[in-house]
Amino acid sequence: MRTRVAVVGAGPAGLLLSHLLDAEGVDSVVVETRTRDHVESRIRAGILEQSTVDVLTAAGLGGRLAAQGDRHRGIHLQWPHERHHLDFETLIGRSVTVYGQTEVQKDLGAAVRQPVLYGVRDTAVHDAESERPYLTFEDAEGHRQRLDAEVVVGCDGSFGPSRGSVPQAVRQTWERTYPYSWLGILADVAPSTDELIYAWHPDGFALHSMRSATVSRLYLQVPNGTPVRDWPDDRIWEALATRLGHGQDGWQLTPGPITDRSVLPMRSFVQQPMRHGRLFLAGDAAHIVPPTGAKGLNLAVADVALLAPALASWLLRGDPALADAYPGTALRRVWRCTHFSWWMTTMLHTGGDPFDAQLQLSQLRRVTTSEAAARELAENYAGLPIGF
């Protein structure tokens, strides 16, 4: 098999890249180890930055997003006895839209016209430093395959082969593991809030998010290594009620049937360079952020929104300038979001000493009383322009 761009991974980064390249007139083939059903049912975050909405809409993927996405003005930040709303629209004229990554994945799955080979095994990247890179893999029918290309793009997350195909001698990595995890639930109950609530509490962080008018998404800080079975429904709803301030100023948290629960580890990771020869990395293959602030999907979209026009001008018009600039431009945004996610995470999660707790509360008071501090949070949360 031969194509111009071989894409490893059919998550949002890989499928959006295939879709954007197609619109530019560049052929691609995507290979994915999982089944289509699996990638479309994975539950992930659900907050789209303004620029992510703009990219998806410009790519013709804005139909269901416009109809079902819920544009929020801002977020609530709280700690015991206090809840404050930050209105991003007023502060910076930009905001976010609540629309699940699962829905983005389905929209992409329906729109992509280039081949996507699901259920492949043993994918390997070869000769990235040559003019003729290629992939090898076993297809879903068990046949060995070779896919020749002009460029390979690794959109295969932290467990895929692309990241490790950049030789050790040239790659640099940075990593931070956090001493806590999130227990995330989906519940069939109307959200008890109009906009997201990020709550600092001595028992640990809690977040009230949502997926629709009838589905709530909530998270609790839990110790690393917590088994899901330690958290039966009653314990989850009690902890959420305490941490989110049930009863404060008459606010009530309405519990409901829990339809999904899982524990998520929290990690920051960055690998550079995001390009080695004819191998490019995008999304989680190059960087992982902890979930606080919901930057993971948005970063992946920003990477491929830079990469698609860069590859098109290189492969179709012989101009390598944007492709050469990609690793630097993309990495600047990656570090901005890495800092913001780390900052939100460390401001809101407990477990440090009493001095740390006072610093966190002081920071929370600062962002809810100083317009300059609030604007700094808002600009990062609602997202910087793609090529800032």
Measured from the CB of residue 82, what is the shortest distance to ligand DHB in angstroms? 20
> Rounded distance, CA 345 to CA 342, Å?
5
Closest CB to ligand DHB among residues 217, 243: 217
Closest CB to ligand DHB among residues 217, 276: 217
Reference 34, options 125, 165, 157; nearest CA is 157
Helix, strand, coil fractions of the chain, as percent rounded to 5: 40, 25, 35
Measured from the CB of residue 314, what is the shortest distance to ligand DHB in angstroms? 35
Our answer to whether residue 118 is catalytic in this structure is no
Segment contacting ligand DHB (CB under 6 A): 27-35, 163-171, 229-237, 285-293? Answer: 285-293
Measured from the CB of residue 128, what is the shortest distance to ligand DHB in angstroms? 33
Residues 181-240 that bind ligand DHB (CB under 6 A): 196, 207, 209, 217
Measured from the CB of residue 89, what is the shortest distance to ligand DHB in angstroms? 18
Helix axes 12-24, 101-111, angle to 10 degrees: 40
Q: Which of 99, 291, 327, 349 is catalytic?
A: 291
Measured from the CB of residue 119, what is the shortest distance to ligand DHB in angstroms? 27
> Rounded distance, CA 1 to CA 54, Å?
34
User: Are 288 and 175 contacting, i.e. CB atoms less than 8 angstroms apart?
Assistant: no
Residues 34-53 that bind ligand DHB (CB under 6 A): 45-47
Closest CB to ligand DHB among residues 46, 160: 46
For 357, the token pair is 């707790």
Q: How many other CB atoms sit within 10 Å of the CB of residue 106? A: 16
> Rounded distance, CA 22 to CA 4, Å?
11
Closest CB to ligand DHB among residues 160, 184: 184
> Rounded distance, CA 236 to CA 222, Å?
11
Is 245 a binder of ligand DHB (CB under 6 A)?
no
Nearest-CB residue for ligand DHB: 209
Q: Which of 99, 198, 219, 326 is catalytic?
A: 198
First to last CA, the chain: 38
φ, ψ dihedrals at 157, nearest 5° = 65, -165
User: Are 217 and 185 contacting, i.e. CB atoms less than 8 angstroms apart?
Assistant: yes
**C-alpha 45: how far from its chain's center?**
7
Our answer to whether residue 295 is catalytic in this structure is yes
Reference 68, options 109, 97, 111; nearest CA is 97
Segment contacting ligand DHB (CB under 6 A): 82-90, 288-296, 326-334, 345-353? Answer: 288-296
Residues 289-328 that bind ligand DHB (CB under 6 A): 291-294
Measured from the CB of residue 211, what is the shortest distance to ligand DHB in angstroms? 7
Closest CB to ligand DHB among residues 219, 314: 219
Binding residues for ligand DHB, total number by CB under 6 A: 11
Our answer to whether residue 180 is catalytic in this structure is no
For 95, the token pair is 């905001």
For 313, counting Cβ atoms within 10 Å of its Cβ (0-12 exposed, 13-18 middle, 19+ buried), the class is: middle
Q: Which of 19, 76, 295, 349 is catalytic?
A: 295
Closest CB to ligand DHB among residues 207, 386: 207
> Rounded distance, CA 270 to CA 290, Å?
12
**C-alpha 130: how far from its chain's center?**
32
Measured from the CB of residue 209, what is the shortest distance to ligand DHB in angstroms? 3
- Binding-site ranges for ligand DHB (CB under 6 A): 45-47, 196, 207, 209, 217, 291-294
What are the catalytic residues?
Answer: 72, 198, 291, 295, 381
